[in-house]
Chains A and B, each alone.
Chain A
Amino acid sequence: MTNQGNKLLPETAVDDVDTPDEVLAKRVVADLIENGLISQTDGERIQNALAGGKLDGPGWKLAFENCIERQEVK
């Protein structure tokens, strides 16, 4: 993580810590799991793509449909 493009603060290299995207992605996934909208397995599967802006429509659809199917089976 770097503060590239920052006109007010110079470039500063920092540790290998979670980016805001990564932290938020974790919270979003946890919230969706807690609310029964996706499964734990799918949550773990989509988390990195979610943080990286790479989770597309089919990816989302699969996660939600899997959860709906499991609920229907129950």
Chain B
Amino acid sequence: MSALESLTITNVRGYVEPFTVEFEKGKKLCIIYGENGTGKTTLSDALELLSSGTMGSLDNKGLGKAKKYWHPAGKNGKRGTVELKTKAVTYSASIDNGVVSWTPPALKPPLAVLRMRQLLQIVTAAAADRYSAIADLVDVSGVTQSEQALANLAKEIERDVQAQTSRVAGAQEILQKLFASASGSNGDSLEWARANIQRDAVDVLADVRALDALKNACESLERSHEAYSTVYKTLEPVRTEADEAAKALVVIEHQVCVADAELLELLQAASRIFSAHPQSEACPLCDSTEHAVDLGVRVQSRLAAMGALRAARKRQTDSARALGDANTRLSLVQKGYANERTSFEQLLTTHASLGSTMSDAGPPANVADLAAWLENTRLQKEAWAHQRDELAVSGSNAEKLRQALKTYDENYALAERSTTLHAALKRGLDRMKLTRHVFVNALLAEISDEVARLYEQVHPGEGLRKINLSLDQNRRASLDLSTRFQASDAAPPQAYFSDSHLDTLGLCVFLALAKRRSPHTNMLVLDDVLASVDEPHVDRVIEMLYAEAQHFRHVVVLTHYRPWREKFRWGWLKHGQCQLVELGKWSESVGPTLVRSTGEIERLRQLLTPPDLDGQAICAKSGVVLEAVLDFLTELYQCRLPRKPKNDWTLGDLLPAIDKKLRPALRIEMHDPAAPSGYKSHPLGPILDELQTIAQTRNVVGAHFNKLAFELLDADAERFARQVLELAELLVDPEHGWPRSNKSGSYWATAKDTRRLHPLYMPG
């Protein structure tokens, strides 16, 4: 935010007409003075509306929806505007029926408003609310969330370590048992397992497979034997039937004397004709009538004889075919057996290492001899089955061994890695917690120290310097405020401080926090924050505000504290850093008004400007200014003055108090870049001498109605006033005030060392 130039408010609450405050260039502190009811709070409301779209002064006043009171009373339809011009940008907000809009959209000035009623809240707020006030300054919830993820990961890896270690122990137990069952003794099971794992795993499984193959080969031979037996059993009856059928056919063929089958076909054709023509009287073949009678019957008879021959022939054919089939099956069985026999002998040769009680002779060449051979090898077959079962158990143990060793190796490596990772994570988590703790405490300590430093400026030497802000360790987002009070190092200030002290503390906390929020770009608005500060501390609060304002872009203080205005008018404050804006009486038709606020010395200079010189006015004003100058000098040098009940000294008391020792020693060095030493010296003694001779002019012309005044010329009044003005302008720098600092050790100086008043002490 760049330097402020002006603020214009129109149709906002009591501001019924456009009202503009011009900000003076280079002055970071602006005091807006006004009696109650002159529009100060509305001015701070307008700024707050511009920055945040709210009006804090209307909160908690039982108004319900306070937005309808943002407009002038009875003029809700009127569009209100607030415009803040800076060197770089103009911030503008308008309100229409309680709806705020910004131009340009969303462009709001960075400013914070503190009102008097908030002061106590800052201190007396609940710890959680107090934390929310500083949350943006100390909130590290993002890092805390990531830290929690790290903590969770550390726990997860710790569980992994436990699980992996447990699996390693389980595998070790299995290995130990296998080792014990294999060797019958205790020892290094791991070393044993590694030595045995390869051999067992390969050899045993191969032997088991070989024995399974032998068993299968044996079973194939058995099946060959069974097949042979089955075929052989069916062969004999078939062979007998074939013989018998052949013999029966010979007999029938002799009986029927049939040359060939062609006759049979002829007879079958004749039979069909006689069946169709039973009354035929001639042979259908030769058409002869001889022996034609009963020819059909005779044909049927001969066909019957031919049927037996046909049946005999069929029987012979069928039995011969059945015999052929049986022989074929036998041949297939024998062929299959030959193959099985070859396979078996090959297996036996290949796996000779498995041992065999079998004679050197393998299965017999003829399957018919197989039954005896099978009977002879039955014991060997049982031995192989037993051997195979034993090897299978051994193979199972080998698999267990392999699995256990694999589990051991894998989890041992994982456990080692997880243990290393867990140690690193745990260490990282501890480091992170420590870093966060140190960081947050340092932040709070910095804020605490700043609060304490500011507070000490207002309440020096009251033993209340130590102000602590600390996070509640047992609760999240909770901020404790404590102070060293009497015998306690952590007393809640709310319990022991007066409301005035708590208000001051609230202001200090607000300023300390605001300073941490990029103060050089921010604007502060302090609304009536001096109201509850007791008299002895007001000047110090004002001094503190002067000093702290330099850290911000701009500080606007709204106050009805009259002494501040008076001190400003008399140049007792640092005009170079500060602007005074005075609000006049508010009226219903015009709203607030501006009063021209001019310093007394400047006012005197203006009165002395021709052409309308008013002798009475300039004498009255110059008398007051001279009294102020003499009051300052006599107090500074602790001059002797007559004792009076109210110390209401007159010029007659004050002028002689600058005695003959002091008067000639008094001189002002004014900063002058053209002078060789940078300063030009001006004696004050001659001016004071002159004033002492004409001081009566003030009483005669400027203080009372006095007929003697009739005899004095306006020039006498002007002469007096110009001497006073010369004295005042030598002594007081319009920008940097009065020479009140004795830090040089040899003279009194104004701010920025623009005036040097000599001597430092009353001459002896």
Contact = CB atoms under 8 A, between A and B. Distances in A.
Contact of B129 (A8, A24, A54): A8
A69 B118 CA distance: 57
Contacts of B140: 20-21, 24
A57 to B, nearest CB: 4
A69 B358 CA distance: 63
Contact of A8 (B111, B121, B144, B522): B121
A33 B156 CA distance: 23
Chain A interface, DSSP helix/strand/loop, else mixed: loop
B609 interface: no
A13 B153 CA distance: 37
Given A6-B132, A14-B517, A21 B435 contact: no
Contacts of B428: 32, 35, 37-38, 60, 64
B517 A12 contact: yes
Contacts of A19: 136, 139, 142
A74 interface: no
Nearest to A23: B439
Contact of B149 (A4, A24, A60): A60
Contacts of B230: none
A49 B145 CA distance: 10
Contact of A14 (B114, B421, B432, B518): B518
Nearest to B427: A37
B733 interface: no
A37 B421 CA distance: 10
A49 to B, nearest CB: 7
A27 interface: yes
B143 A3 contact: no
Contact of A7 (B133, B146, B427, B513): B133
B510 interface: yes
Given A10-B112, A15-B518, A20 B443 contact: yes
Interface string A44-59: 0000011111111101
A25 B143 contact: yes
Contact of B48 (A8, A10, A53): A10
Give the interface size class of chain B.
Answer: 35 or more
B556 to A, nearest CB: 14
Given A25-B143, A61-B421, A9 B112 contact: yes
B439 A24 contact: yes
Which residue among B125, B432, B443 has the maximum number of chain A CB atoms within 10 Å of its CB? B432
B496 to A, nearest CB: 21
B431 interface: yes
Interface in B418-471: 420-421, 424-425, 427-428, 431-432, 435-436, 439-440, 443
Contacts of A50: 142-143, 146
B127 interface: no
A68 B420 contact: yes
Nearest to A72: B420
A65 B421 contact: yes
A63 to B, nearest CB: 9
A60 B439 contact: no
Contact of B133 (A6, A17, A49, A56): A6
B508 interface: no
A6 B135 contact: yes
Contacts of B114: 9
B284 to A, nearest CB: 110
Nearest to B54: A10
Contacts of B145: 53
Contacts of A25: 142-143, 146
A19 to B, nearest CB: 8
Contacts of A67: 424
Nearest to B122: A8
Contact of B146 (A20, A49, A64): A49
A54 B145 CA distance: 8
27 contacts: A5-B135, A6-B135, A8-B133, A11-B52, A12-B111, A13-B51, A13-B110, A14-B110, A14-B517, A15-B518, A20-B139, A20-B140, A20-B439, A21-B139, A24-B439, A24-B440, A25-B142, A25-B143, A32-B428, A32-B432, A52-B142, A53-B141, A53-B144, A55-B149, A57-B149, A57-B150, A64-B428
Interface of B: 48, 51-52, 54, 56, 108-114, 118, 121-122, 125, 129-130, 132-133, 135-146, 149-150, 152-153, 156-157, 417, 420-421, 424-425, 427-428, 431-432, 435-436, 439-440, 443, 510, 513-514, 517-518, 521-522
Given A21-B141, A25-B142, 20 more contacts: A1-B136, A3-B133, A3-B517, A6-B132, A7-B133, A8-B122, A8-B129, A9-B133, A9-B513, A12-B112, A14-B518, A20-B137, A20-B138, A24-B435, A28-B432, A32-B428, A32-B431, A37-B428, A60-B428, A64-B425
CB-based closest 6 A-B pairs: A53-B145, A53-B142, A8-B133, A55-B146, A21-B142, A57-B153
